[in-house]
Structure 1
Amino acid sequence: MQKQLKKILISTTLIIFSLIFISWFFPFSFLNFNKSISYTPDPIFVKEYNEKLTSLKSKLQSDKEQNQIKDSVNHSIDLLSKDWLTSNRSHSLNYNDINVLLSDVNDIQHNFINLERSGKIKDKNTLDYLYVVIDNYEDIKEQLHAIKEQKHANRSSLKTLLGNLHMSFSSNESIIETFYDQYLQSE
């Protein structure tokens, strides 16, 4: 009886530790109830990103005219200013956070698409940059979908994907700033 109890105890312990290991190693697996991953960005990268973001914000503040273009860029800044993008601290991103990001990106991309459809941008170069902004948001949406679909990816792969996503947001910030600069020049 004691041997049987010992076997059951050992088996149960092994199963529990296996589940804990699997849920830690594969954060988005079906075995993990929390479905979250901790992400710590590179501090040097964050510093440069914040400097570029501050530059874009100051350009927007110096432009006193309120219009659809400025509103679209302001919405982008709200997304680009999320804490996990601008802070050196480690952040836990869960499955729901990815869904919220995806929804935000989709809304902002639609703002820029509506801007293009409105016909308010007459300058060809500005319009070309607007298309790049829209395409870049499409790339970010694809990256977010890829992260969501990584049910069997290990922690290291997911951290790499989040790092790439962070780089895409930084690239997008630069493209938005270039678009806005071109818009200001064409006015």
Structure 2
Amino acid sequence: MENLELYLTIAGIVVAIIVILWIILRRRKNVNVTGASIGPLNLEFSEKSVEDISILSSPLAACRNERLTPPLKVKLMDEEQHILKNRKVRLEIYGENGIVSARKISGALTRNSDNDGIAIFDDLALDATGTFKIFIICEKQQISTDDIDILPPGLPIDFWNYQVGSPEYEERFDRILRFKTNERGI
């Protein structure tokens, strides 16, 4: 009987520790508590997974070797729409011919989400022209942006606002042709 009090005290302390851990870990947004495990009890902790990647802002266009504008901003959330901080977000950029070589990209292709669950890619630039798509990958989730146009240097992003045949259009078009001709060494 004297050991019974000792066993009850130890069991009470263990239950108190489990309850305290349960409360602390339930308040954390990145951890999911599914049970308990001491003797016949099961206590399981699993990290919440990314279920939703939201694009807050996506680049529209840029000139070659200039930063993509606006910067790419994504937000990470779990299935209960809680933000997920400190998660690695990776980008893959595809053009007409497949994935773009890292030599043609400047800027970081991986970022961690901040305390608000947001990852910002504000220094991306491509050393190529054409139409590109960015794939945002985090854990098992993947989402893509709309097409992004990378224009030759000297052509403004709003080039379609210039009327074909106007002096401004012809001057900019001549500048682009001169650049392309000099680039090839002709």
TM-score between the two structures when normalised by the length of structure 1: 0.34
Higher relative contact order, chain-length normalized (CA < 8 Å, sep 6+)? 1
Which structure has more helix as a fraction of its residues? 1
Name which one, 1 or 2, has greater alpha-carbon Rg. Answer: 2
